[in-house]
Structure 1
Amino acid sequence: MAEQMGSCKYLFMSLLMLFQVVQCRVLTVSEIVDVKLPHQPKSFRIDLVHRDSLISPLSPGNISSTARWKRVLERSNERLRKFQLDSRSYSDKVSDIKDAQAPVSSGTGEFLMKLAIGTPAVSYSVILDTGSDLTWTQCKPCEDCYSQPTPIFDPSKSSSYSTVPCSSSLCAALPQPGCSKSSCQYYYTYGDSSSTSGILSYETFTLTAQKLPQIAFGCGENNQGTGFSQGGGLIGFGRGPLSFISQIGPSVGNKFSYCLVSTSDPPSKTSPLIIGSAAGLNAKTFGFTPLIKNSVHETFYYLSLEGISVGNKALDIPAGTFELDSGGSGGIIIDSGTTITYLKQSGYDAVKQGLDSAVSLPQADGSSVGFDLCYTSAAAAFPSITFHFKGADYVLAKENYLYHDSTGVVCLAMMPSSDLSIFGNFQQQNFQILYDLDSSTLSFAPAVCDSL
């Protein structure tokens, strides 16, 4: 009897231990989502190619710097108008969309990156856009699609494709969600009649040979607007929940950085985009400033700009010029897809006057390109321009704010804006820019970008 009781006790303890082992393996859904699998990549390094580079599939060819900058300014002006429309009330947007004549589209970004979609994976060059959330590509069957340099994605040929249900929180995050046959439908307009619509879907994306399953993206079946014919789609790096970086961020440390080579560098040089743990700055000293959240327009990366100096002279800019107002309008954002910097009119006027006073040179006509303040002497001593962000100074040497025309004219690569200010990518060249979404900070340091 004693032996039987001992055996039963041993069996009971064994079962209890087994139950405890099984019990400790049961995880909640939220815990499963947060699990970092051992094989998950910690970082990606991807080459960005400027859309006008000779190695870009969208290259205009070997054109003059004047012609190139005219194209750049047209795209930047269109993008500014789109952003200003986005940052205002819905009723104002509808009125402007009805009255719009010139084609304006989002996705007029400046840098292309390569990725692959589906199983088997099909490669595309897409526009990187820190000013958009939705990642999308054109899909078959296409009711109305523009011409693109690569085949249109066919979801019927991918074994990993599925649609996002209407009940999903990602569907609810769309600005204009719809529902058809239990699948979420999206419709995006971009400031004029340009638009993309289709099915919000899940698919496997491949970056640098690493597969990322269940990425939500727009499968566009109806895409209209002359501004879209610029690649195989768009990858959104904005702050909203639908963006690519928001979806993969938790598994890669919620950070990314890029370092943009100069537009005057040889076309063979590319700009590194680093996502994940390797995105830290390669500098002993650097500046960092908070990323400001705008609950009305959560996509954009807002900064706190407290003032601007030309040389050692602080400019007389009215207090609050670059602040967000109570309705979520105004402020200043940093953007990868806008080339030049736009400043609210009073701030721009102060910079223009301050620079003109500092150089004491006769002005030149810059209307052939579209700039406002130009000179004929590039050899003159131009002062630095410092943007005083909260907690950090961003110092621009003349290479980061002067456009050099092929005729010898140099122009201030900044223009006025009626409301929203934008810190453009020309001012970001030869700086490594780190977006840390966990700490909501932007860090920056001068860098030799092609050596990172």
Structure 2
Amino acid sequence: MASVILSWFSLLITLGILGALFVNPSCSTSRRALDLHDHSLQMQRGFKVTLKHVDSGRNLTKLERLQRRIKQGRKRLQRLHAMKLKSSASPDSHTRVETPVHAGMGEFLMTLSIGSPAKSFSAIVDTGSDLIWTQCEPCKQCYKQPTPIFNPKKSSSFSKVTCTSELCDALPSSKCSNKSCEYYYSYGDSSSTEGFLATETFSFGDVSIPKISFGCGEDNEGGGFSQGAGLVGLGRGTLSLVSQLKEPKFSYCLTSVDDTESTSTLLMGSVASLNGTTSSSDVANIKTTPLIRNPLQPTFYYLSLEGITVGGTRLSIDKDTFALGDDGGGGLIIDSGTTLTYLAEDAYDAVAKEFSSQMDLPEKDAVDTVGLDLCFELPEDATKVEVPKFVFHFKGADLELPSENYMIADTGVGVICLAVGSSGDMSVFGNYQQQNMLVLHDLVKETISFLPTICDQL
């Protein structure tokens, strides 16, 4: 098996905490190079907005950022499991008893404006939720947010949604009060938002779109939203921004998790198209796979994962491991709000076993220090590291990841770890594996495409 050179020069120019990873494109296909160093005409054109990570600007070391992201990702995974448990016995849509659980608490923030005159605020972007909401005056209970709380009485374009509206009917949990549609959204860890449904003019840069439905939250609880003033759902449900805009495409491009200065990008509508924006060489690198629908979890974007290769070995994983179950469980969700990729237990065990056999380094327990299950010791005098290639075989698309998208190096602790975890029967393709890829959702063709891209240059 061919080897790849691991350069240590970058350790001299970083703080020596975590190495940022990148690939030497000239390496072989069996090994990966791993370097350690730190509704209108307007809408027809679509729009572009920048995203920043929720930890951006915080005074954290790279190791602290990694630990926080892993912890946040595991909490989100718990919410996803909670959603699965309730999906087989969905409550009546107009009751408050046993209300559905939603994912929420994504990892990226977008800046937008609401109302007339427009008031700017930041909101968490979440491909695992549908509802758009922000905190509203007068607050019964609101958390502290970085911008003033929205006051609907000061906007000329604000309007409440009636109980007979189709938008009200689309809520998973609602009730009628004074002819207004009231909602309750729970995020599975005691975090929630409660208020009434309304419509407003939303602005994304220079693009303003009237009558977007959103939740005006007057009672909002939980500690996961304080970086922003609400949430923008990008899921597949009726109430999401994607569905309300009726745009056939959207995409995002997430910069390296070690890059704290650069911003990521969300593209909506025609600007999300790959047509005319890629060279002939880029076209060959586009990997496209069908989107799968789960009737019991209609919000999520599911992919059909058929197998995994580590190094030169196609793993013996039962074909039903990643299949959707009749109870709404199983399957593989592609998610921008979960840090790591989590695999169904049997698949993870096979991946971990194969990595252990192919890595030429001794294993080292770093669960307490780094937070990852499979780590290997980095010799102090090492000048190169060989890592097996890692390929996800989606239906119609073999996605070979660059090494920086699945290996994490902590030079302070002296370990290199696999950025993958175990997750019961449900699998999630996380944002660490999506770094520096343009991820295009085509909702007409019902496909997702991956294109390697330098995201901070979009």
Same fold (TM over 0.5): yes
Distance, in Å, in 2 between the alignment partners of 1:37 and 1:268 is 33
Aligned equivalent of 1:320: 320
What is the 5 A alignment of 1:2-401? 37-38=40-41, 40-54=43-57, 59=58, 61=59, 63-89=60-86, 106-249=103-246, 252=247, 254-265=248-259, 267-281=260-274, 282=278, 283-285=282-284, 286-367=286-367, 368-377=369-378, 379-401=384-406
Aligned equivalent of 1:26: none
Distance, in Å, in 2 between the alignment partners of 1:106 and 1:306 is 25
Aligned equivalent of 1:430: 436
Matched to 2:418, the amino acid is: L
Distance, in Å, in 2 between the alignment partners of 1:434 and 1:443 is 5
Aligned equivalent of 1:22: none
2:451 to 421, 445, 452: 445
Distance, in Å, in 1 between the alignment partners of 2:391 and 2:188 is 32
Matched to 2:143, the amino acid is: Y
Change (3 A) 1:37 1:341: closer
The structure number with the bigger radius of gyration is 1
Distance, in Å, in 1 between the alignment partners of 2:55 and 2:61 is 11
Displacement of 1:228: 2.5
Equivalent position SS for 1:126: strand
Displacement of 1:40: 4.2
Displacement of 1:106: 4.1
For the 8 Å contact 2:51–2:263, the answer to whether it is kept is yes
Matched to 1:274, the amino acid is: L
Distance, in Å, in 1 between the alignment partners of 2:351 and 2:272 is 33
More relative contact order in 1 or in 2 (CA 8 Å, sep 6+)?
2
Identity %: 51
Change (3 A) 1:443 1:136: same
Matched to 2:397, the amino acid is: A
For the 8 Å contact 1:302–1:334, the answer to whether it is kept is yes
Distance, in Å, in 2 between the alignment partners of 1:70 and 1:291 is 31
Matched to 2:419, the amino acid is: A
Which structure shows the higher helix fraction?
A: 1
Aligned equivalent of 2:8: none
Aligned equivalent of 2:407: 402
Distance, in Å, in 2 between the alignment partners of 1:40 and 1:449 is 23
Displacement of 1:88: 2.0
Distance, in Å, in 2 between the alignment partners of 1:135 and 1:93 is 21
Equivalent position SS for 1:184: strand
Displacement of 1:105: 8.1
Displacement of 1:121: 0.4
Distance, in Å, in 1 between the alignment partners of 2:192 and 2:90 is 14
Displacement of 1:375: 1.1
Distance, in Å, in 2 between the alignment partners of 1:133 and 1:105 is 9
Distance, in Å, in 1 between the alignment partners of 2:268 and 2:411 is 36
Equivalent position SS for 2:399: strand
Distance, in Å, in 2 between the alignment partners of 1:292 and 1:91 is 18
Matched to 2:433, the amino acid is: Q
Q: Taking structure 2 as the reference length, what is the TM-score of the superposition?
A: 0.84
Distance, in Å, in 2 between the alignment partners of 1:52 and 1:120 is 30
Matched to 1:236, the amino acid is: G
Q: Which runs of 5+ in 2 are unaligned?
A: 1-38, 92-96
For the 8 Å contact 1:140–1:153, the answer to whether it is kept is yes
Displacement of 1:107: 3.1
Distance, in Å, in 1 between the alignment partners of 2:221 and 2:147 is 18
Matched to 1:44, the amino acid is: F
For the 8 Å contact 2:192–2:221, the answer to whether it is kept is yes
Displacement of 1:135: 0.6
For the 8 Å contact 1:434–1:442, the answer to whether it is kept is yes
Matched to 1:402, the amino acid is: M
Q: CA RMSD in A?
A: 1.9
Matched to 1:111, the amino acid is: F
Displacement of 1:248: 0.4
Matched to 1:192, the amino acid is: D
Matched to 2:49, the amino acid is: I
